[in-house]
Amino acid sequence: MLVFILFSNLGFTQNINKLNIQITVKDAESKLPIKGALLTVEGSSQKYKGQSDDFGSIVLNAIVSGNYKIKLSHSGYETIEKKLEFTTNQNLSLELKPASIELNEVVITATESRGMTSTSIIDKRAMQHLQPSSFTDLLELLPGGRSKDPVFNASNHIKLREVGIADSNYDISSLGTAFVIDGIPLNTDANLQYSTGPRMTITPGSGYANTRRNTTSKGVDMRSISTDQIEKVEIIRGIPSVEYGDLTSGLIKIKRKRGRSNWESRFKADEFSKLYYVGKGFESEEKRFVLNVGLDYLDAKSDPRNSFENYKRITASIRAQKTWEDDSYLLQWDSSLDYSGSMDNERADPNVGYAKIDRYSSDYNRFSIANSFDLDFKTSRFLKSIHVATSLSQQYDKIEQTKWVQVSNATAIPNNTEQGESDGIFLTPQYASELLVDGKPFDAFLKAMGDFEVRLFGITHALKAGSEWTYSKNNGKGQVYDTTHPPSPEMTTRPRSYKDIPASTDIAFFAEDAITIPLGKHQLNLAGGIRAMSLLNVPSAYAIHGKYYFDPRINAQWVLPSFQIGKHALKTELTVGAGQYTKFPTLAQLYPDYVYNDLVQLNYYHNTPEYRRINLMTYKTSAINYDLTPAINKKWEVRTDFSYDNNRFSVTFFNERLDSGFRSGSRYHALSYKKYDSSSIDPSALTSQPDLAEMSFVMDTLLTTYNITNNGSKLLKSGVEFQLSSKRFKSINTRFTLNGAWFKTTYTNSNPVYKSGQKDIIINGKRLPYLGLYQWDDGSIKQQLNTNLIVDTYIPSLGLEFSSSFQFMWFRSNQSTPMNGTPIAYINPSGEQYPYLEKDKSDPILQWLDIKYNDDLFEKRTIPMSMNMNLKISKDFYKKIRISMFVNRLFSYYQNYEINGQKIEQRGLTSPYFGMELNLNL
């Protein structure tokens, strides 16, 4: 009984001493409640944890009275640690002070990496200040970049370290730039979305509907990449690690947001588009599981006044991260499920013109799932980590085109798909053609890599070795249309299913070694490696079959000893790098469509449809170039970097040479066919179609060319990039950034070209088909020099930041390379090739193959200085609301110039482009 009384009294005493504590967490400046603050309450034998709710409240129930040490923390705020004594039920209010941010840490422009290769780093704060609509807008921040109005009615392709040219024969610039998102490359090799037939013009002045939007063998369309879910972007213009391959120009590494965050939303409106975004990051209490979700929508028009042409983009993403850890290892699993879709639409105004049904739409829908596993060994001396990444993606691409076709005379089309003679059919004088291009690219990716550490002769080697496997296949129906109502009467192709095209499979192996060698007060960093690649699953007839291509790369950085100048130390670094890069051909380049030549042998049109007859000789020619090889680029660069008192200056000299870019070349073939004499037909005596066996004919030959893909494009790049970034001066809270570049780019064709001469050769009223083989077909040398001065001010006490950028284009020049119009050979009507000699220039027929060019075509043309001034302003309210606006070309100046004595005025060419956005962080 005594024992029962004692225990009862003890339990009663403990119940009396258990307290309920309510703590409200507020912002010390705005006095608003803070959600998600983490509280740890630790006593001598008890420990409690809590997290503030939407009202900033944390309730701790049944706390034993006594002395406790509390810790209150939240990202973006200073942590509170204090001792409190709880003796009674209490309601406490604790205030968190915003964490003080060093002004020099606030960067709203791109920064140059201090690594061993030229890299521009753009973080989310710089992107937030820039207010982009797509990835295209970020290129303004690169050395040599300049702000441009968004173009949403045409595909956007990247060009690094070059002036740029509007010629599809140099698409290797964008095709050879690799985009890697969270370690997974964006593969576009199986993209076959192009339409055959006419270059359909719907909106006057808008160009060709499909030509402007075609992305086949052009690389990534930057319109499709939203920036709202990106944490950081690294644009590597120099020598990337051998870990990354199948590229020639550069590497874009995109890291998306991970970790806990409040609900964030963004609404942007400008002259061309409206953009909406919402996202949030969730985190478990022990921070071992993280979930991020995001959704954005873009609705854009090329002209706000034109509602018949628009572009829409939808991006949705769910990303998860799980961590396991003990004393010996750390395992991190990252998984993502993504959807991205875009819709291009263009149609004719039914109230304008005759072609009221013309319509074009292109839909792109991509679903992807990716997983990566990173296992770090804490105690292993040799094997440091293992990385495995996998991804699967499926696209559903569709082009739907409606075109009103009219023919002015009796036009025939073939009715067969094989080579030989056959009767064709007469086209309806006018009809509506329906074209469907159905593509279903499927991509798979697997990567396995290990990091090792070896110590030899007192030097630690950080080794990296691994392998990649990529699979690309298009399972779409291809180009589908009614062959009796083709998109164009002049078509030289037939419907083809993409399923019949073999898959592309490539494998790569790579190894790299990085070391650091201390040399007294100096330090030498070296990284070198080699990558071996092979394209599998290609027939043995291809020159690329069974071959491995090797890309050696090396970077070296010499860190000189710093020395004191006044109160601060000057730090100097010298970096050099060189390497080779290989890009394999795409499916469209390896397996092009057959070329069909339908030669009319008889075209007899009778008023009675049953008596009409058209006879064709069809030639089916393979356009495959079995000698096609990968495009290979060789580059080197030298960079110096100086730092002093948070001021930094870097300058880079670079040179690149690519001699084997993919382009459209030409081949010729001589096609023989019969020409029936229809004059012997008596229309009044016909009771059926004319009998070919009873008709006379003569043999004729057509000498014509067709296109193939070859390695004829040559790109030579050289130039200087520089950036000077000052510290942020505290007296005015302002930083000055000056960057720019001088680019010189040479575009030429290194392969001979077959083409007709200066004039058609006509003898006795008959055109003779002679062709010339010309060594130099086209080329140009382009140069530009531009600088950008960015003045940005950040006032944290007011939550205000604004920047002005002064963008100078000091000059742009273009000079066509001289072309020799004298052919090196000629082909006669029989298809025989002979060398073109000096005496042929005076031959009555062959002289017309010697093309005369005006020397004025090869004069250098220079556009002088122009300047634009841009303004961006952002204001934070209560750390929850952010309102921003921008005006590009608020002020512009364009210098007039002369070409061949004619004055060119540039005034009125540009007008301001402006917009604003609202950000909520709840």
pLDDT at 819: 85
With cut-offs at 50, 70 and 90, classify the pLDDT of residue 351.
Answer: low
What digits encode the pLDDT tens for the residues 835-890?
A: 999 999 888 888 888 888 888 888 888 989 999 999 999 998 887 899 999 999 99
Which phi and psi (to 5°) does residue 857 adopt? -65, -25
With cut-offs at 50, 70 and 90, classify the pLDDT of residue 907.
Answer: low
How many CB atoms sit inside 10 A of residue 855's CB?
7
531-552 exposure pattern, b = at least 16 Cβ within 10 A, e = fewer: bbbbbeebeeebebeeeebebe
Please say whether the beta carbons of 527 and 554 come within 8 A.
yes
pLDDT at 30: 60
As a whole number of angstroms, the distance between CA 554 and CA 577 comes to 6
The whole-model pTM stands at 0.85
How many CB atoms sit inside 10 A of residue 325's CB?
12
As a whole number of angstroms, the distance between CA 548 and CA 629 comes to 11
Question: How large is the average pLDDT for residues 752-772?
Answer: 76
With cut-offs at 50, 70 and 90, classify the pLDDT of residue 486.
Answer: confident
Query: Does residue 279 register a pLDDT over 90?
Result: yes
What is the side-by-side strand order in the sheet with 825-827? Answer: 753-755, 771-774, 825-827, 833-835
| Chain CA centroid to CA 625, Å | 27
The radius of gyration computed from the CA coordinates of the chain, to the nearest angstrom, equals 34
Higher-pLDDT residue of 644 and 10 is 644
As a whole number of angstroms, the distance between CA 207 and CA 213 comes to 10
How many CB atoms sit inside 10 A of residue 880's CB?
14
Weakest mean pLDDT among 209-218, 230-239, 731-740: 209-218
Higher-pLDDT residue of 577 and 907 is 577
Please say whether the beta carbons of 295 and 318 come within 8 A.
no
How many CB atoms sit inside 10 A of residue 648's CB?
19
Residues 608-613: contacts with CB under 8 Å, at least 24 apart? 608/686, 610/688, 610/689, 611/683, 611/686, 611/688, 611/689, 611/690, 612/426, 612/689, 613/423, 613/689, 613/690
Provide the 3-class DSSP secondary structure of residue 133.
coil
Tokens for 716, please give them.
């030579």
Query: Does residue 201 register a pLDDT over 70?
Result: no
As a whole number of angstroms, the distance between CA 405 and CA 103 comes to 64
Question: How large is the average pLDDT for residues 128-154?
Answer: 90
Question: How large is the average pLDDT for residues 27-49?
Answer: 76
As a whole number of angstroms, the distance between CA 555 and CA 652 comes to 14
Q: Output the average pLDDT for the chain.
A: 87
pLDDT at 1: 39
Please say whether the beta carbons of 603 and 535 come within 8 A.
no
Weakest mean pLDDT among 80-84, 173-177, 229-233: 80-84
What digits encode the pLDDT tens for the residues 879-904?
A: 789 999 999 999 888 888 777 777 77
As a whole number of angstroms, the distance between CA 604 and CA 263 comes to 73
Q: Let me know the angle formed at the C-alpha of 236 by 231 and 239, rounded to the nearest 5 degrees.
A: 145
For the chain, give the number of residues: 922
SS3 content of the chain, % helix, strand, coil (to 5): 10, 55, 35
Query: Does residue 547 register a pLDDT over 90?
Result: yes
Place of tokens 């810790």: 71
As a whole number of angstroms, the distance between CA 519 and CA 792 comes to 40
| Chain CA centroid to CA 800, Å | 33
Please say whether the beta carbons of 560 and 574 come within 8 A.
yes
Kindly give, in sequence order, each residue whose CB lies less than 8 Å from that of residue 459, ignoring residues fewer than 6 positions away. Answer: 515, 516, 517
Question: How large is the average pLDDT for residues 254-262?
Answer: 90
Query: Does residue 654 register a pLDDT over 70?
Result: yes
| Chain CA centroid to CA 47, Å | 51
| Chain CA centroid to CA 371, Å | 22
99: burial class by Cβ within 10 Å (0-12, 13-18, 19+)? exposed
